[in-house]
Structure 1
Amino acid sequence: MTPQSASVEAGRGLLPQDLRAWLEQHADALDDGSLDAATVLPRLAAAGVFRQGVPEARGGLPGTDIGDAIEAVSQVAELSVASAFVAWGQRVFIEYLLRSPNTALADAWLAPLLGGEQAGATALSNAMKFLSGIESLQIGAREAEDGQWVLDGRMPWVTNLRVQGFLVAAAVTAPDGTPAVVALPHDIAGLVRSPDLSLLALQSSNTAALDVRGVRIGPEWLIHPDAREYLPQARPAFAGLQCGLSIGLARRALLAAAQAGQGQASRGILGAPLEALRAQVGALSDSLIEGVRNGRFVAEPWALFEIRIALADAANQAVQLELQASGGAAYLRPAGAGFARRWREAAFLPIVTPSLVQLKTELAKRQARLAAGAAA
Structure 2
Amino acid sequence: MTRGLPQDLAEWLAARAEGIDAGDVPADLILPRLGDAGLARIGVPRALGGSGGAVMDGVGTIAAVARESLAAAFMLWGHRCFVEFMVQTPNHALRERLLPDLLAGRVAGASGLSNVMKFLAGLEPLQVAARPDGDDLVIDGTLPWVTNLRGQGFFVAAAADPADGGPAMIVALAHDDPGVRRSADLALMGMRSSDTAALRIEGVRIGRDRVIAADAPAWLPGVRPAFLALQCGMAIGLARRALAEAAGTDGAGRGVLAAPVTALQARLDQTVALLDAGLASGSFVTRPAALFELRIALSDIVFEAVSLELQAGGGRCYLQEPGQGFARRWREAAFVPIITPSTVQLRTALAAMGRAA
Shift of 1:109: 0.7
**Which one-letter code corresponds to 1:162 in the other structure?**
R
Offset of residue 261 of structure 1 = 3.6
Deviation at 1:141, TM superposition (A): 1.3
Helix, strand or coil at the partner of 1:269? helix
Of the candidates 307, 319, 323, which is equivalent to residue 306 of structure 2? Answer: 319
Q: Which residue of 1 aligns with 2:210?
A: 221
Matched, 1:45 2:35: yes
Q: Which SS does the other structure have where 2:337 is aligned?
A: coil
Post-superposition CA distance 1:161-191 (Å, at most 9, x none):
1111000000000233220000001100100
Structure 1 residues 368 and 290: alpha-carbon distance in aligned structure 2, compared to 1, 3 A threshold? closer
Give the share of equivalent positions with the same residue, in percent: 51
**Is the CA contact 1:120–1:168 (under 8 Å) kept in the aligned structure 2?**
yes
Choose which of 155, 175, 178 in structure 2 pairs with 1:167: 155
Work out whether 1:59 is the aligned partner of 2:49: yes
Whether 2:113 is the aligned partner of 1:124: answer yes
Q: Deviations over 1:250-300 (max 9, x none)?
A: 0000011111246743xx211111001011111111211221122110010
Q: Return 281-290 or 180-189, whichever deviates more.
A: 281-290
Partner of 2:228: 239
Which deviations, in whole Å up to 9, do the C-alpha atoms of 1:177-206 show, x marking residues without a partner? Answer: 220000001100100000110101111111
Cα separation, 1, equivalents of 2:316 and 2:143: 41
SS at 2:12's partner residue?
A: helix
Give the aligned residue type for 2:118: K
| Alignment partner, residue 194 of structure 1 | 183
Report the TM-score, using the length of structure 1 for normalisation: 0.92
Q: How does 1:50-129 map to 2 (within 5 A)?
A: 50-62=40-52, 64-129=53-118
Deviations 1:112-162 (A, max 9, x none): 000010000001000000001100000011122x23111111000000111
**Cα displacement string for residues 54-90 of structure 1 (whole angstroms, at most 9, x for unaligned residues):** 111111114x211111100010001100000000011
Q: Distance in 2 between matches of 1:262 and 1:68?
A: 37
Q: SS state of the match for residue 121, structure 1?
A: strand
For residue 337 of structure 1, the aligned residue among 324, 328, 331 is 324
**Residues 368 and 35 from structure 1, CA distance in 2 versus in 1: closer, same or farther, beyond 3 angstroms?**
closer
In 1, are the aligned partners of 2:159 and 2:216 still within 8 Å (CA)?
yes
Conservation of the 8 A alpha-carbon contact between 1:148 and 1:217? yes
Q: 1:157 aligns with which of 145, 154, 157?
A: 145
Q: CA RMSD in A?
A: 1.2
Equivalent residue in structure 1 for 2:18, among 12, 28, 52: 28
Question: Gaps (5+ residues) in structure 1?
Answer: 7-12, 370-376
In the alignment, the residues of structure 2 paired with residue 263 and residue 43 of structure 1 have an alpha-carbon distance, to the nearest angstrom, of: 41
The number of aligned residues is 355
Letter matched to residue 67 of structure 2? E
Q: Contact 2:58/2:230 (CA < 8 Å) preserved in 1?
A: yes
Note the alpha carbon deviations across 1:324-359, whole angstroms, 9 max, x for none: 000000000210000000000000011110000010
Residue deviations 1:208-249, cap 9 Å, x none?
Answer: 000000001111100000110111000000000000010000
Deviates further, 317-326 or 13-22: 13-22
- Cα offset for 1:48? 1.1
Q: Secondary structure at the match of 2:339?
A: coil
Work out the CA distance in 1 between the residues paired with 2:69 and 2:129: 36
Could you tell me the TM-score, scaled by structure 2's length?
0.97
Q: Structure 1 residues 368, 289: CA separation in 2 closer, same or farther (over 3 Å shift)?
A: closer
- Structure 2 unaligned segments of length 5 or more: list them: none
User: Quick check: 2:122–2:349 contact (8 Å CA) kept in 1?
Assistant: no
Deviates more, 1:248-257 or 1:175-184: 175-184
